[in-house]
Amino acid sequence: MNIIKVDATNSTSTLIASLFRSGVIEIPSALYTNDQTGGRGRLERPWNSEPGKNLTISYVLPDFGSSPKSVFRAMRQITWSILEILEASGIPDLSVKWPNDIMAGGRKIAGILIERSLRQGKSSFVIVGIGLNVNQVNFNDEFKATSMGELTQRVFAIDPLAYGLSDSIANHLLQDEEITIDQFHSKLYGINQMHRWQLGDKVVEATLLGVTEEGLALLSSNEGKILSFTSEEIRMLRV
């Protein structure tokens, strides 16, 4: 995999997509930066990162399809790659908060954003953006975040993490390794527990039973009804 490092950019995902569309780079490639000034997460939420403290990296990858099943299959492979790097670094109590957050001890340590695009209106491709909190220790309490450094009292080099994560993604996603639903459930944050959920303009309580092959959250209501929702329909509220 071709890996590019830049000193600063507004968004690694925007830049790598532009480089690919202009023919400067090929699939698969990765791009990361010391300073991302305009990072974003799901639903266009800002991803704030102290310069030089974290890994903000994006990948241009072959299209893995638009069906919910194929997208969630890829999401499992990507999350497994991140978990693998964090576990190898000694980060404890890791889990995956549906749909796209990696948690450590109940606090967010990484996030994933997948975007599908068209190149010249013909061949489609995928941009995967990953933000990993590495050495930053001061966070806005609103986000309940943590970092590798805060949890281990160590300072981590960013470059080896970028290359290690890229190798892991090549092994899991590009080789299409199967990460089963059962494997995903073994790391699913809050499974079989009652949570508060934002459903439209209402807040409801329901137990998280798991996730379907299509990436839907399976919930059991207080009345015992089994319901399923997309990540656009419902979200788990922070405690």
104's enclosing H/E stretch is strand 101-104
- Looking from the CA of 204 toward its CB, the CA atoms found within 13 Å total 17
Total-model pTM: 0.91
What is the edge-to-edge ordering of all strands in the sheet holding 107-119?
2-9, 29-36, 55-62, 123-132, 107-119, 101-104, 94-97
Query: Residue 126 and residue 104: Cα distance in Å, rounded?
Result: 27
33's enclosing H/E stretch is strand 29-36
Q: Which domains does the chain have, with CATH numbers?
A: 2-186 (3.30.930.10), 194-236 (2.30.30)
Q: Note down pLDDT in tens along the chain; length 239 residues.
A: 999 999 999 999 999 999 998 999 999 999 999 898 876 555 455 556 788 999 999 999 999 887 899 999 999 999 999 999 999 999 999 999 999 999 999 899 999 999 887 555 555 799 999 999 999 998 876 568 999 999 999 999 999 999 999 999 999 999 999 999 999 999 999 999 999 999 999 999 999 999 999 999 999 998 889 999 999 999 999 76
